[in-house]
Amino acid sequence: MSTLEASPAVRLAPAVWHAREEAHEARADALTAAHRERAARGEKHPVWDFLFTYYGYKPAILRRWHPGARSELADAADSARAGWRWYAPGSDPGSLRVDAAAFAAEKAPLARLIEIMLRRTAERPGRFDCFGLHEWAMVYRQDEHRHPVPLRLGQADTDAVVDSHELKCSHFDAFRFFTPDAAPRNAMAPTRDRQPEMDQPGCLHAGMDVYKWAVKLGPLVPGELLLDAFELARDIRQLDMEAAPYDLSAWGIEPVRIETPEGKATYVRRQRVFAERGNELRARILDAWRPTSPTS
């Protein structure tokens, strides 16, 4: 079981935590405004809906601010927050704190998994030779596709790109969508059980998953850090679709042509930046949380 490294909580005065909460809500609203407007119109988007449908987290999750595992909120006991899960009375009368110990006890397997995924992924060297071909493998030799968007090279030439490359996908949640003809061509066979030993920081999907882990830790993660993780997922998603085989020009997405040497170089350069950002966020989440269980 993950335990929490002992350290005193930081007491936040009402003016301080109210200001942080308001700033967080404004930032979250700005990040989700376009999606909420589209949803109100019943309009789908092949790039950005993924952030809310695949992970299944609604804008309201992003909007709720938490101070993190090591903060105590003064004069908060009479607020609606007192009824939120994993909040408990603080050391001062009328204060509230995030009950990280209760979270760790109730969610022990999940907490253990998240700690392992954050630590082990960050410790591994990044791999930068997949070139985003996982999206191409999802349409390989397939007449019907997951996204109702045309292929910019057509089916035959898209298949030819896959045929001319070695598939090197290490992430199960991408690999599981490979077509039956593409899966045997992959250099490895990711599974859910092997994910803790296979995820690595160069993988775009592993970078987007930092957001998922932050959400699953709930109030243990400061709201500002959660939004930073969402922004990383958003930025990665853009490259993921720019490098995909789809023609997304109708949505203002210009392709990164990974079938060319120039496109590969662009993809890897941006991929390395995302790997650094992802590892920085993993370290910040662990520092805010500070579980002390071993990860072996």
What pLDDT, in 10s, does the model give residues 51-94? Answer: 999 999 999 999 999 999 989 999 999 999 999 999 999 999 99
Q: Residue-wise over 2-34: b if at least 16 C-beta within 10 A, else e?
A: bebeeeebebbeeeebbebbeebeebbeebbee
Q: What share of the chain in percent tops pLDDT 70?
A: 96
CB neighbours of 33 closer than 8 A, spacing ≥ 6?
Answer: none
Domain that holds residue 251: 10-289
Counting runs of H as helices and runs of E as strands, what totals does the chain give?
A: 12, 4
**Residue 294 belongs to a domain:** no
Give me the pLDDT at residue 296, please. 44
Span 20-34, average pLDDT = 98
Nearest to 261 by CA among 112, 114, 131, 79: 131
Span 163-185, average pLDDT = 97
**Residue 244 belongs to a domain:** yes
**Statement: residue 3 has pLDDT above 90:** no
**Residue 105 belongs to a domain:** yes
- DSSP class of residue 124? S
Helix (H) or strand (E) holding 97: strand 96-98
**Residue 2 belongs to a domain:** no
Q: How many domains does the chain have?
A: 1
3-state DSSP helix/strand/coil percent for the chain, to nearest 5?
55, 5, 40
Tokens encoding 277:
């950002």
**Residue 5 belongs to a domain:** no
Give me the pLDDT at residue 190, please. 96
Give me the pLDDT at residue 1, please. 44
Give me the pLDDT at residue 291, please. 80
Q: What is the pTM of this model?
A: 0.94
Span 151-180, average pLDDT = 97
What's the pLDDT band for 45 if we cut at 50, 70, 90? very high
Q: Residue-wise over 250-260: b if at least 16 C-beta within 10 A, else e?
A: eeebebbbbbe
**Residue 169 belongs to a domain:** yes
Q: Measured between alpha carbons, how far is 96 from 108 in angstroms, rounded to an integer? A: 23
What's the pLDDT band for 295 if we cut at 50, 70, 90? very low
Q: Is 200 helix (H, G, I), strand (E, B) or coil?
A: coil
Give me the pLDDT at residue 294, please. 46
Give me the pLDDT at residue 118, please. 97
Give me the pLDDT at residue 66, please. 97
Give me the pLDDT at residue 292, please. 64
**Residue 156 belongs to a domain:** yes
**Residue 28 belongs to a domain:** yes
What's the pLDDT band for 147 if we cut at 50, 70, 90? confident
Torsion of CA 36, 39, 44, 45, to 10 degrees: 0
Span 127-142, average pLDDT = 96
Span 244-248, average pLDDT = 97
Q: How many CA atoms lie within 13 A of 6 on its CB side?
A: 0
Q: What pLDDT digit, counting tens, does each position of 112-126 carry?
A: 999 999 999 999 999
**Statement: residue 7 has pLDDT above 70:** no
- Which of 3-12, 199-208, 218-227 is predicted with the least confidence, judged by mean pLDDT? 3-12
What rounded mean pLDDT belongs to the chain? Answer: 94
